[in-house]
Structure 1
Amino acid sequence: MTRFILAPLCVAALAWAEPFPTAAAEPGAGVWAQLRTELFGERPIEDGSEVIAVRAPERAANAAIVPVSVEELRPDDDGAPIETLYLIVDNNPEPLSAIVRFGPAAARAQVATRIRINAYTHVRAVAETRAGKLYMASRYVKATGGCSAPAGGAQRAALEHLGEIRLRTWEDARAWGEPRRAQVMIRHPNFSGLQKDQVTGLYRPAHYVDRVRVGYGGETVLEAELTITLSRNPSLRFYYRPAGPGSLVVEASDNEGNRFRKASEVAGAQAKQVRDGAVRQPEGDCRRQAGRAVCQALGG
């Protein structure tokens, strides 16, 4: 994934200088103008208000865990299907939050997750169709401090269960070929690199889930490239279309090279967990995963 940390920070710092920015700025102003060029060059981006919708609270209750979903508004049989979604948070240290590419086993271009928000900002979704057209929708969200918020006691649990995957499905009684919902949840601290250890006062190195792939029956449902913007214990909710009996298979990795896997067999009206669990590197102890200072603070 292309990185956009350094250049946008110079611009974003100006936005953070005002503690209460408003939503009055035009969609092409500020950080977005630079990001748009870096991500999409001179390609035209059309109004996507009738193509996709961004759902998020106007004011977040917890800036470190903000629910966001991108929903496709067009019918499933539309002749120009959406193949890729870009999720962008203008005023975050890492504005490009996720790139989600949908495969042949996806039922629709729709995804929900939880993100960190560092300052009042536009949350944007850009949809790219198979024909190469771009459409954008956005939502203005009021939240501050989510990228540097301390993890607290949940940090230890996330490290102890690093890489455990929960796979949940809905509508299992539906006929084969009809859309069904599923959710992937990965136990991981997803350190942003901006959080301070409460004991040592040192910044924890960034350690986060960077890739997730979901497949069904040998075909791809989605592939996601993720960044530090996703909240602790990252989650993805999506739709898939099972043509017949098979297994949902989740494969994930983090930026330290750890790999995780989980499968769930979908058989008619019920789903049975395949107990292969999370695959972790055997040497992935606490000191390797989090660093000496963090482990000492945790008693590890």
Structure 2
Amino acid sequence: MIEFLQQNDLLLKTLMMYIVLGLSVQVVLRAGVFSLASAGFWGISAYTTAILTKLIPWPLAILIGLLICAAASGLLALLLTRLRGLYLGMGTIAFNLLVVAVALNWTPVTGGPSGIFGIPMVMSLPTSIGLAVLAVASVALWQSRSGGRFADALRTDEPLAMSLGIDTFKLRIATFMFSAVLGALSGSMSALSYGVLGPNDSGFSLVVMGLTIVVLGGTSSWVGAVIGAFIVTMLPRWIGFVREWTDVVYGLLIIIMVIFAPQGIWGIIQQLWHRVRQRKLPDAPVAPATTTIRVPTKRDQRS
């Protein structure tokens, strides 16, 4: 077991990072807040952690990166508060492109197109697993029974949610910020695991990766993000024989899932489990037929 962990150390760290990234996308999609800004905050926190780790202890560097992203996401959420659906998605993608542009051109700080090398690789596998478990527990608590119902109500019908007493404005802001912090944590984990960081690491490819994780796993629960992250991490090993056709396989897999299983793998598992339970339940006893006795009235006696 120890030998297996040592041989697959970087692979398992990547899995933990993808789990946190998938959670950041799943949180907003379940609530109907079509935000893709977690990729931009991934980059902000990754660069912050990479730079500060050379000056201060790495846990403090991660904490500062998360705090910066939390404050910036709150401000961005207020600026985009009136946007919904596709317009919100385009606004957050523009934010991601802005982060990439700053990373490309702020050469004295970010290293420009070359990025940053020699980042201390201090993220151990136990620490990576611990952070991923903490993120999963936080999302599970966030999407507990009441929280999950609030998110579903916000996604399904916002005016109805408001009529039920849900403060949809605060809920949207909080969901946006929570997603940003999760994306930021994933970026810090990546920087301290790989030791290198480039401006395009937080670009559009990262947005596609996050959406792929959620589409494959499912948006209804944090379990879907974990399943999707596992598939995305292991799929390159499973289909390594196709080599240059890997992207084509990814695309076909996503198309198949969107058309035939839009609820994701976790949704399919839930449906199958529901059918199995329905078959195991005993048939309800049929109530015996009753005979109605008509009591004669005075009118019947007169006739």
Please give the TM-score of this superposition, normalised by the length of structure 2: 0.29
Q: Which has the larger radius of gyration?
A: 2
Higher strand share: 1
- Structure with greater helix share of residues: 2
